[in-house]
Every structure is written in C-alpha cells, then in structure tokens.
Amino acid sequence: MRKLFFILFAFAFATSLIAQTTGKYVLVIHGGAGTILKSQMTPAKEKLYKQGLQNALDAGNKILKDGGTALDAVEAAIKILEDDSLFNAGKGAVFTNEGKNELDASIMDGKTLKAGAVAGVTNVKNPITAARAVMDKSEHVLMAGKGAELFAAANGCTIVEPSYFFTTQRWNDFLDAKKEDSLKALHKDSTTGLLKQPSNHDYKYGTVGAVALDTYGNLAAATSTGGMTDKRYGRIGDSPIIGAGTYADNNTCAISCTGWGEFFIRLVMAKTISDKMEFAHESLKNAADDMIMKKLPALGGDGGLIAVDKEGNFTMSFDTDGMYRGYIKSNGESKVEIYK
C-alpha cells in the first residue's frame, strides 16, 4: 500500500513537472556586427568563425535540451564566445588607448527582471560570470572597475593575469588605430576626446550576445564585449547598460545588441523594442526592424541585434554588411550565418 502510494505520488510529481514545460526552446547568438565582407574573408577564416558560433550554440543547446534554464544557456553560450579569441569579448578583446583590455558584460532574467553587469574589468576570465554573480549574489545591478574585480574574485569567478587577454590580431588592430590617431591629431585638437573612428569598422562593433527562451517559458539575455579599439577616458558602451545593450522580460522578449554603443544608449534600444511590443502591440520583428533600420541610422548610428519573444519567434536585425549570428531550436532546426 505504501509502495503504491509512493508510485502514485511520483507519477503525479513527474506529470506536474512535464506540465510546466512546453518542450519548446530557442537559442539565438551573435558575435558582433560590422563591415564583414565576403570579399575580405578567406574560406578558412569563415570556417573558424562558423565553428566558433556553432560551439556556442551547442553549449547552450545542451543545457536547454536537458531542461536547463534560459539564464544558464545564455551564460554558457557567452562563455564559449568569450574564450574564443576570434570574438571581441573575453580573450580576443580589443585594446584601449592605453594598450589595455577593459571588459564589459551584462545578463538579465526575464522572469524576475533581475539583472547584473560589470564594466571595465581587466582580470576576470569570463566577464559574463561576474555579471551573473552581481545579479545572483548582490543587491546591485552594475559594478565597475577595481570594485567589480574584487567582487568577482570574492564570488568564485576565475581571475587571470591581464596578459591572458592579449592576442596578436587585436594588438595589430590597436597599432593601426594608434597610427590613424596620430595622423588625425595633426589636424585636430586631441584633448577634445572626439573618438577617432577607425576606417576599418570591423573591430568597432565587436560584441557577443545570446538570448534564449527555455521550456518553462522564461526569457534571458546576455551580452559581453571588449568595447571599441583605442577607446579612451573610461568610456562605457551599451553592453553593460540594462535597457540599452541587454534586456529581458518574460512578458515581451529578450534582446542583445551590438553596434555603435553610444547610439544604442541614447535610443535605449533594447527596452524600447520591449515597450513597442508591450504598449504598441507591435510584433518583435517589426519593433526591432523599425529601431535598427530606421531610428538608429536616423541618428547616424549602425549595428544590429538578436531577439526572441515569449512565443519563440526570433529576429536577427542589422543594418551593417554582416553580423556573425546563429540559432538553434528545440525541433533541431539550426543555422549559423555571417553576411547579409
């Protein structure tokens, strides 16, 4: 009798668990938008980028498939991209004007509207884990600089020597930017702090991002970046700014942006798309396309974003030549792409 009761109880418990899940999930990632032209790419390099994106999708997919949360899936996908030196986040981050790597990241849980972010960290191997720790283990949302590093170290994040982030490719990009810098300085007052836009826009928009809908109907978003090559004056872009570069709300969508950060901040890009869905009842695609294809260029900016809504509809909008991107769905459908 006692055994039968136990079996019935276990059955009811298992049913209730199943009933709570839809079985349906979606993961979308990006590795930055910019002047990414097929004419400037080699087949070997293209293969490496696609493999990097695929590795991130696989890591997130494994979690979602096993009934994990959107939050864990986006964090896992971002970690892979941070560890891959091809992308401007974690290892492979661009250099600041002072020849250092300063990293920003943010993460948001659409279920609770909890969020965490770090800005300007120089020794946290995976900045996204520090952002997650800020969200889970503090009452704060955003921590910056040395304070953020202390918090990350005290909360189990892997700390590395700043030299860990060095890559020859980014160092050469930095030297190129410096050269342009000094040429332009001959004609312009260098104290004004006007950003020298590098002629190769490619390394301006390096950012990685992930958004997911899990089988429980929860949305999450995460973004990580090394910022702009040759950035100065402690500049912080949109990546660690909740509402600008990252936003997630179970009632609407989850979004991660990449592009010329200042314009994404001024437009409060991610939250505005969520609000267009909530208040103007626009579809995710219409809301995202309006912001990326119209509002953003109207101000003079450019870039892109990935987003998924609570129904599992997703979009990968960009007005640049290319955006490293990919998605995977619970039905097995998956793709990685680079160009327009």
List, by residue number, the catalytic residues.
207
Q: How far is the CB of 124 from its own copies (least distance, A)?
A: 13
Question: Which three-class secondary structure state does DSSP give residue 8?
Answer: helix
95 Cβ neighbours under 8 A, 6+ residues apart? 101, 170, 171, 173, 174, 229, 230
Q: How far is the CB of 73 from its own copies (least distance, A)?
A: 21
Q: Write down the residue that tokens 């040395």 correspond to.
A: 146
Please report whether residue 187 would count as binding its own copies according to CB under 8 A. Answer: no
Q: Is 193 exposed, middle or buried (0-12, 13-18, 19+ CB in 10 A)?
A: exposed
Q: Which of 286, 242, 248, 287 is nearest to 268 (CA)?
A: 242
Please report whether residue 111 would count as binding its own copies according to CB under 8 A. Answer: no
Q: Which of 8, 21, 62, 147 binds its own copies (CB under 8 A)?
A: 147
Please report whether residue 159 would count as binding its own copies according to CB under 8 A. Answer: no
Please report whether residue 151 would count as binding its own copies according to CB under 8 A. Answer: yes
Taking contact as CB under 8 A, which single stretch among the options 59-67, 163-171, 266-274, 330-338 is the one that binds its own copies?
266-274
Q: How far is the CB of 133 from its own copies (least distance, A)?
A: 8
Q: Are strands 142-144 and 114-121 parallel, antiparallel or unpaired?
A: parallel
Question: Which three-class secondary structure state does DSSP give residue 339?
Answer: strand
**Toward its own copies, which CB reaches closer, 10 or 150?**
150
Please report whether residue 241 would count as binding its own copies according to CB under 8 A. Answer: yes
Query: What is the rounded distance in angstroms from the CA atom of residue 161 to the CA atom of residue 164?
Result: 6
**Toward its own copies, which CB reaches closer, 32 or 261?**
261
Q: How far is the CB of 120 from its own copies (least distance, A)?
A: 6
Q: How far is CA 49 from CA 31, 69, 71, 177, 326, in A?
A: 9, 26, 24, 23, 11
- Site residues for its own copies, window 287-306 (CB under 8 A)? 299
Given a contact cutoff of 8 angstroms between Cβ atoms, the answer to whether 232 and 97 are in contact is: yes
- Site residues for its own copies, window 120-139 (CB under 8 A)? 120, 134, 137-139
Taking contact as CB under 8 A, which single stretch among the options 8-16, 22-30, 160-168, 263-271 is the one that binds its own copies?
263-271
Q: At what angle are helices 127-137 and 70-83 packed, to 10 degrees?
A: 150
Please report whether residue 242 would count as binding its own copies according to CB under 8 A. Answer: yes
Q: Which residues bind its own copies (CB under 8 A)?
A: 113-115, 119-120, 134, 137-148, 150-151, 154-155, 191-195, 232-237, 241-244, 247, 261-262, 265-268, 271-272, 275-276, 278-280, 299
